[in-house]
Chain A
């Protein structure tokens, strides 16, 4: 059970906009620690999608955007495409765990 909570699944039709939430607490997101997002296609390693709450690495389409407010963060995907069907994970740091990072439980995106 992760300290960062994501919905197990979301879905949307091609062309639509979907959002994936990542809910934390005052010891992680709420404490000001940045949130990062990864996309994991079936059978492959995760790929960095968003870093520092809202920054896209080179090569990531601008259909993907991230935001953070209070103790939560969100990943938004606009103009949904079939190839976006994947698992999505948020990551941050939790000061109560004294480790290096924590992941959310992941969200399966299904493109209808």
Chain B
């Protein structure tokens, strides 16, 4: 059974760096073809794809946020970490991590419950 759970601060100040951890079970991120992605959703708005890390440590980022994002994995701990620098109130959103597979494009078959991050001074 695959499960994922996001953890991190619920409140960050503008200009601070956000660090979110995705802790998962039921799969290994060293298995070929597997990835873990991050997606966010501002309140009342659409999903926005952020970043993805592959089993072979290849990484992909949203072009619009690439300069602010870093994604890493710790296979031994079954964790993926996303950092986002220079946080702004517009970054207020629910952040999800998800197990990702490839079928001519990546899709997310298991999602965490999400964590709401508010950016405010």
Q: Which of B46, B60, B61, B109 has a CB less than 8 Å from the CB of A106?
A: B46
How far apart are the CA atoms of A97 and B111 in the complex, in Å?
24
Binary per-residue interface labels of chain B (42-58) against chain A in the complex, 1 for a CB within 8 Å, 0 otherwise: 00001111011000000
Candidate in A36, A57, A105 with the most chain B CB atoms within 10 angstroms:
A36
Q: Give the residues in chain A near B114, CB-CB below 8 Å.
A: 45
Chain B interface secondary structure, helix, strand, loop or mixed? strand
| B109 and A101 form a contact (CB under 8 A) | no
Binary per-residue interface labels of chain A (26-56) against chain B in the complex, 1 for a CB within 8 Å, 0 otherwise: 0000001111101010000111100110010
Asked whether A105 and B105 contact (CB < 8 A) given A98-B63, A99-B63, A100-B37, the answer is no
Q: Could you count the A-B residue pairs with CB atoms below 8 Å apart for me: how many are there?
A: 87
Chain A interface secondary structure, helix, strand, loop or mixed? loop
How far, in Å, is A43 (CB) from chain B's closest CB? 10
Which residue on B lies nearest to A103, using beta carbons? Answer: B47
How far apart are the CA atoms of A48 and B37 in the complex, in Å?
14
Q: How large is the interface on B (under 10, 10 to 19, 20 to 34, 35 or more residues)?
A: 20 to 34
Interface set, chain A 65-112, CB cutoff 8 A to B: 89, 91-93, 97-106
| A100 and B104 form a contact (CB under 8 A) | no
B86 within 8 A of A: no
Asked whether A93 and B106 contact (CB < 8 A) given A46-B47, A100-B60, A101-B49, the answer is yes
A45-B111, A91-B108, A100-B52 are known contacts; what are 9 more A-B pairs with Cβ within 8 Å?
A: A48-B107, A51-B107, A89-B46, A91-B47, A91-B107, A99-B52, A99-B62, A100-B106, A104-B46
Sample of 19 A–B contacts (CB below 8 Å): A36-B105, A38-B47, A45-B96, A45-B112, A46-B39, A46-B47, A51-B103, A52-B107, A89-B46, A91-B107, A93-B106, A98-B63, A100-B35, A100-B100, A101-B37, A101-B49, A101-B106, A105-B46, A106-B46
